[in-house]
Structure 1
Amino acid sequence: MTTTLDAYPQTVRDAVAQARTSVSALHAELPRWGLVVWTAGNVSQRVVVDPAAGPGPDDLLVIKPSGVTYDELTPESMVVCDLGANLVDGTRAPSSDTAAHAYVYTHMPEVGGVVHTHSTYATAWAARAEPVPCVLTMMADEFGGPIPIGPFALIGDDSIGRGIVETLRESRSPAVLMRNHGPFTIGKDAKAAVKAAVMVEEVARTVHISRQLGEPLPIEQQHVDSLYARYQNVYGQH
């Protein structure tokens, strides 16, 4: 396939190479934490150029190719797309979720990374179309409240992306459980989105187990707000 990446300046090509390396390495975290099976799931990252190196693109992302097993992934196999989900550089077709990722980047400019998995417990909540209630301090820290449910949407166009954006614009959560599908997470970069994917599965599992013992106790909103503010603004800063 003829590449059009050569049309971009060297600073952009360097940023793409860095993103390919990062995204390839982060994909290994998904099977490591038991979040995916076979070729399901994907990580993407917005291409960002160091401001000191000059102006960069606002229209490129790096994502996993479609139908490739995790042990076959390399930086070179990652594909580059624009925010219209069109292939810019790569030897394979991009993930079938690329349009959803691209829609998120287009409409949430603060987002630098997107992750999708079919992790078991989080997907089980999605199958029930039930938000995960905020009954753990870990949830208050990371998600700032319950993990919301997004609408049902079919794969193949930007419908999933629209559902993600509509849901997360009204929530502090970096994760949404798309109904009958599974979790999508966002972050300032791909690493942060992978962390959110790991955390959403952990709390979905823990709250499920808690419900087998009885009704979990919700955390008062004032305490949720306090925990979230501390974790996001103070924890790890000193």
Structure 2
Amino acid sequence: MLLQELRQQVIEKGIQLKEYGLITLTGGNVSGRDKETGLIVITPSGMEYSKLKPEDVVVVDIDGNIKDGHRKPSSDLITHLQIYRAREDINGIIHTHSTYASCFAILNESIPVASTTMANEVGGEVPVAKYAPVGSEELGINIIEKIGNQKAVLLQNHGVFTFGEDPHHALVAAVMFEDAAKAYYLAKAIGEPVLLPEEEVKRANELFKNVYGQR
């Protein structure tokens, strides 16, 4: 079986998305790119993550040709491939319809950095990519236009994509972004949020990347 370990990792991240409350039922999708072969593994369309086995996860090349697996890949496959072609540093992608981030996607409103939590992993203000139909090439183009250096992009009237150096880091970005979106949403309901200065955003991001955790 091709890339069994990466396929299992993608399944685990999908299960964690549900555990963290970022998806319901079979919503969202997860993919990862193998750095050695360049092959991409992606969750199948419309299947419960908790019931997936490694052989259910689909392996494709950068052009979308199926190299291993018998399932239909996610309907967002085209978008994942477009992002991987555009950014060699991205090797993990997650798509969710997480509630608080999706509120701002529906409002067509970007989320600025008002907390160190968001600065840590997401890294900057999260913009909104223009609306385009799911699975269309236009959607991927609109996302790539907005990626910048931060690790998340909102999709107008839809949800959110997060990115990372592997599926795990894409998951961390998705979880931390939803936490930040919730805090920002609630703060706006009370008053006017105070945004972090740009130098503090950079400081928090560097601290998280280079100091936080075990080294």
Q: TM-score range by the shorter chain?
A: over 0.9
Among 161, 185, 189, the alignment partner of 2:166 is: 189
Distance 2:95 2:173 in 1: 10
- Helix, strand or coil at the partner of 1:154: coil
- Code of the residue aligned with 1:69 in structure 2: it is E
Structure 2: gaps of 5 or more residues? none
Among 3, 27, 49, the alignment partner of 2:14 is: 27
- Helix, strand or coil at the partner of 1:147: coil
Aligned to 1:53: none
Distance 1:80 1:144 in 2: 30
Is the CA contact 2:62–2:85 (under 8 Å) kept in the aligned structure 1?
Answer: yes
Among 107, 121, 131, the alignment partner of 2:86 is: 107
Aligned to 2:73: 94
Is the CA contact 1:26–1:191 (under 8 Å) kept in the aligned structure 2?
Answer: yes
- Helix, strand or coil at the partner of 1:28: helix
Distance 2:172 2:208 in 1: 14
- Code of the residue aligned with 1:204 in structure 2: it is A
Q: 2:127 aligned with 1:140, yes or no?
A: no
- Helix, strand or coil at the partner of 2:31: strand
CA deviations over 1:181-230 (Å, ceiling 9, x no partner): 11000000000001111111111111101111101111112222222222
Distance 2:4 2:121 in 1: 30
Distance 1:24 1:220 in 2: 38
Aligned to 1:158: 137
Give the count of matched residue pairs. Answer: 215
What is the CA distance between 1:178 and its match in structure 2? 1.1
CA deviations over 1:23-71 (Å, ceiling 9, x no partner): 111111011001111111011000233xxxxxxx22x210111111223
% identical equivalent positions: 39
Give the TM-score of the pair, scaled to structure 2: 0.94
Q: 2:70 aligned with 1:83, yes or no?
A: no
Q: CA RMSD in A?
A: 1.5
Q: 2:144 aligned with 1:172, yes or no?
A: no
- Code of the residue aligned with 1:183 in structure 2: it is V
Structure 1: gaps of 5 or more residues? 6-12, 50-56
Q: 2:180 aligned with 1:203, yes or no?
A: yes
Is the CA contact 2:123–2:150 (under 8 Å) kept in the aligned structure 1?
Answer: yes
Bigger CA radius of gyration: 1
What is the CA distance between 1:173 and its match in structure 2? 1.2
Q: 2:31 aligned with 1:44, yes or no?
A: yes
